[in-house]
Amino acid sequence: MYLEKINPQLKNNTQQVIEYPYFKLMDRNYLELYSLLEVLCKLKNQLFFMWMVIKSCQNIYMRLAHPNKIYQSPR
């Protein structure tokens, strides 16, 4: 990805003020893919968190549903 300076533009015709507004990002596909990757990473983290919550709820349910059984955690 590289930057390119935008051509100077006249701000006001009467004062002839030249300004360089911003740097233009040349590769928009890169930005779109990067933002999509961020969204996918956040979604993956949320799904992993939900999976952990479900697994812990299942373990708690096993303890509550079978009080006479001794729960043995896997080693």
Is there a contact between 8 and 20 (Cβ–Cβ < 8 Å)? yes
Q: Could you count the other beta carbons within 10 Å of the beta carbon of residue 13?
A: 7
Cα 66 from Cα 58, distance rounded (Å):
12
Each residue's pLDDT tens digit, 31-66: 777 888 888 899 999 999 999 999 988 887 777 766
User: Which backbone phi and psi does 10 adopt, to 5 degrees?
Assistant: -80, 125
Q: How confident is the model at residue 2 (pLDDT cuts 50, 70, 90)?
A: very low
Taking CA atoms, 19 is separated from 22, 28, 67, in Å, by 9, 24, 76
Q: Quote the tokens at residue 36.
A: 């999509």
Of all residues in the chain, the percent with pLDDT exceeding 70 is 45
